[in-house]
Structures are given as C-alpha cells and as structure tokens.
C-alpha cells in the first residue's frame, strides 16, 4: 500500500472512531456536563465518604433523596431520608444542620445537584454530592436495609 493509501485508511479509521464515539452513542444531556463542571468543588467520591464512615467521623449528615421505596430497600447506614421535589422544592419541613457537613446522595448523583444549588443559595457552604450516587456505592457491607425513613416533618439533626 502506498503512503497516500495509508493516510486515507487512517482518515477513514479516525472518521469511523469519531462517529462511534460521538454520533452513535446517545449523547448525555448538556446539563449533566454543566453540573459536573459548575459543582466540581462540591463533589465527594464514594471512597472518601466510606473513609469518613469507617473512621468514625460524626461531623456530617448524609441525606438520601431517592424515593422512599429505594431508600428502604438499601441505603448508607447513617443516611437520613430527605424528601426533595426534583422540580426545585422541599417536601415537608426537614431542617438541615449548618454546623455539620451535609452530604447528598441520590440514585445516580444527578438529582443531587438541584438540592445542592438550592442549599448553596440558602447560605449552606459545607455541602457535598456523592459522585454517581448509589449507583457508584459499591460497599454493600455499609448498607442498611429495611429501616423506615423518618417522617418529612422530623429534623434529621
């Protein structure tokens, strides 16, 4: 094969790879990338949270914003169920502490950004989102199953 032929093959190969990576794979919604960039300083990796749990730290509160049935089927042991309306509002009157870190966990991490945005607007500064939510939580030995979630009117702190 000539040099020109090899160059054409490379371009065709690159075009196929580009198509497979960017056109054939369903695109992620733009707001997912915007959230990841905008709130990068407020993201905590599941491993970091695990170290807090294992280390016995108690200066944080984990709030789980998944639906009650998901929460009751398995949640991080110290997590409190927090009813959050995905359209931008709280359900009930749960108060969150300002003297401890608030760590938000959702199904896949994306739902957490709305609550994070809300809490930052309300003056909370020590708020974190668990990267990837419960889909990224691989530590089954640190799950609790079957505990009923507290009523939305109770204060988790």
Residue 7, pLDDT score: 75
Residue 129 predicted with pLDDT over 50? yes
Return the pLDDT at 134.
92
pLDDT at 35 over 70: no
pLDDT at 22: 56
Collapsed DSSP state (helix, strand, coil) of residue 115: helix
For every residue of 34-88, DSSP letters joined together read HHHHHTGGGEE-HHHHHHHHHTT--SEEEEE-S-HHHHHH-EETT-EE--EETTT
- The per-residue pLDDT for 14 is 57
Average pLDDT of the residues in 51-65: 91
Rounded mean pLDDT, 2-16: 70
Q: What is the mean pLDDT of residues 119-130?
A: 91
pLDDT at position 31 is 52
pTM, two decimal places? 0.69
pLDDT level of residue 42 (50, 70, 90 thresholds): confident
Lowest mean pLDDT among 32-41, 125-134, 144-153: 144-153
CATH superfamily of 39-144: Rhodanese-like domain (3.40.250.10)
Q: Is the pLDDT of residue 85 over 60?
A: yes
């Amino acid at each position: 094969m000539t040099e020109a032929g090899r160059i054409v093959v490379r371009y065709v190969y690159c075009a196929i790879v580009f198509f497979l990576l960017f056109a054939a794979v369903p695109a992620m919604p733009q707001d997912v990338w915007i959230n990841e960039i905008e709130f990068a300083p407020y993201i905590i990796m599941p491993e970091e949270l695990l170290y807090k749990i294992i280390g016995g730290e108690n200066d944080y509160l984990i709030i789980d914003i998944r639906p009650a049935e998901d929460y009751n089927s398995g949640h991080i042991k110290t997590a409190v169920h927090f009813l959050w309306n995905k359209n931008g509002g709280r359900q009930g009157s749960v108060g969150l502490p300002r003297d401890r870190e608030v760590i938000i966990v959702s199904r896949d991490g994306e739902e957490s950004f709305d609550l994070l945005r809300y809490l930052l607007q309300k003056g909370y500064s020590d708020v974190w989102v668990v990267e990837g939510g419960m889909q990224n939580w691989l530590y089954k030995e640190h799950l609790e199953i079957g505990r009923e979630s507290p009523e939305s009117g109770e204060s988790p702190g």
